[in-house]
Structure 1
C-alpha cells in the first residue's frame, strides 16, 4: 500500500475506526492505540484491487479483532481506567451525553450493535456480515439494547 492510499483511507474511514474503537474500548487512550494498530496493519496489506467498501469492511473487522485482543489481554492483566476515578470523571459535553453514557453501560455485544446501527448507519444485514452472525441476532441485540436503554434512562413503558 502506498502512503497516499493510506492517507486517503485514514481521511475517508478514520472517524469510523476511532468511534468504533472508542465504543468497544470505553476509553480514549485504548481507542487511539487501536486506531494506530489498525492503520499500521492496513499499511502492510496488499490493497491494490480493493474498493472503498472493501477497505471499510476490512477496517471494521480489524477494529473488532484488535479490541477483542486487548480485552483478552486485560482479562489476564487488569488495569485501572482513569474514568473510574471519581474526581477525574468526564463532564457531559452535549445533549446526547446521557444517552451515550447509558449506551456505554450496555454489554459489549449490544453496545457494538447500537454503535454500528445508529452512529455508523449500517443496516442489520450489513452488521450481521461484519460481525459474522445472523441478521436476526443483530435485530435481537438492537431490541434488547433499546429495552435496556429504556430501563436505564427511565423511559415510559408502552406495553
Structure 2
C-alpha cells in the first residue's frame, strides 16, 4: 500500500491525464469521477514499483483505459431492469404469460439468463454470448436445454419459437 505522500503526488501529477482520458472514453462527468476514484484506489493498493516517471504515467494510462472499457462493457446493466425488479412487476405481463414467467424464473440461473435475454429482451445468441461472456455454441446449448425444461414444466403446451 502506498503512502499518503506518494498518493498526493500521483494525484497532482496524473489527475488531469486520467480525467481527460475518462472524458474522451465515457463522455459523462459522473462516470469520469467514478473511474478517477477507481484508478487512484488501484494505485494506492498496488505494489507495482515503477522504473521511472514514464513507466508510472504509462501505468496510469493503461489502468484508466481498461477501467473505462470495463465500465462501457457493463453499460447495459445500468440501463436495464434487474430480473428481480421485473419479477416484482407482474402486472405488466398479460395473464396468459404468468405461468410461463413463473416457469422461467424457476429455472437455474444459467438457463434463466439466456431465456430472459432471448425471449423477453429479443437478443440473438451471438449478442447473448457477448453480454454473458460465453461461447455462442454454449448459448445455443443453454437455450435448447432450457426449452426442454420449460416444455416439461409447462406440459408441452407452449411454442417457444
The TM-score normalised by the length of structure 1 is 0.46
Q: Please identify the structure whose Cα radius of gyration is greater.
A: 2
The TM-score normalised by the length of structure 2 is 0.46
